[in-house]
């Protein structure tokens, strides 16, 4: 997945758009993403709403891992659980996938990630950012 983020430009007072696959540039600021679940026909102005899933993750004031955990648990998991059209997958395969996603969300919510976000916050802002 290629993510684009709107990040402050150190050279100018404006903003710039950065395209990244996540291997080089760290996400800071707002991430706008586009997912295309099927590649059956071309995307046009008239079918863009049916062909693309668009979203936005705001990591301006919180750790990006917290934002991803919240998105997965509050948006994606409920959407996937309510979907009954899984194509040729067997119910056991669907359950395995859902349970794996739940385990990943629980991992993101565990003690490991808040500590990681604390340190990321420290290095990003120069001082710890407490939620309290």
- Positive or negative torsion for Cα 35, 40, 43, 45: negative
Answer yes or no: are the C-beta atoms of 69 and 108 closer than 8 Å.
Answer: yes
Answer yes or no: are the C-beta atoms of 101 and 81 closer than 8 Å.
Answer: no
What is the pLDDT tens value at each position of the chain, 132 positions in all?
444 444 444 555 556 666 666 566 556 678 788 888 777 888 898 988 888 888 888 877 777 778 888 899 998 899 899 988 888 999 999 999 999 999 999 988 886 666 666 655 555 554 444 544
Angle in degrees, CA 91, 97, 103, rounded to 5: 135
At 5, which helix (H) or strand (E)?
strand 3-8
């Amino acid at each position: 997945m290629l993510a684009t983020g709107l990040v402050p430009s150190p050279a100018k007072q404006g903003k710039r758009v950065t395209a990244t696959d996540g291997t080089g540039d760290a996400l800071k600021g707002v991430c706008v993403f586009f997912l295309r679940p099927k590649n059956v026909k071309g995307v046009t102005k008239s079918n863009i709403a049916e062909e693309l899933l668009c979203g936005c993750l705001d990591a301006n004031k919180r750790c990006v891992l917290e934002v991803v955990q919240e998105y997965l648990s509050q948006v994606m998991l409920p959407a996937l659980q309510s979907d009954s059209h899984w194509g040729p997958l067997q119910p056991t395969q669907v359950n395995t996938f859902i349970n794996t996603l739940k385990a990943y969300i629980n991992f993101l919510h565990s003690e490991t990630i808040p500590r990681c976000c604390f340190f990321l916050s420290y290095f990003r802002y120069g001082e710890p950012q407490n939620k309290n």
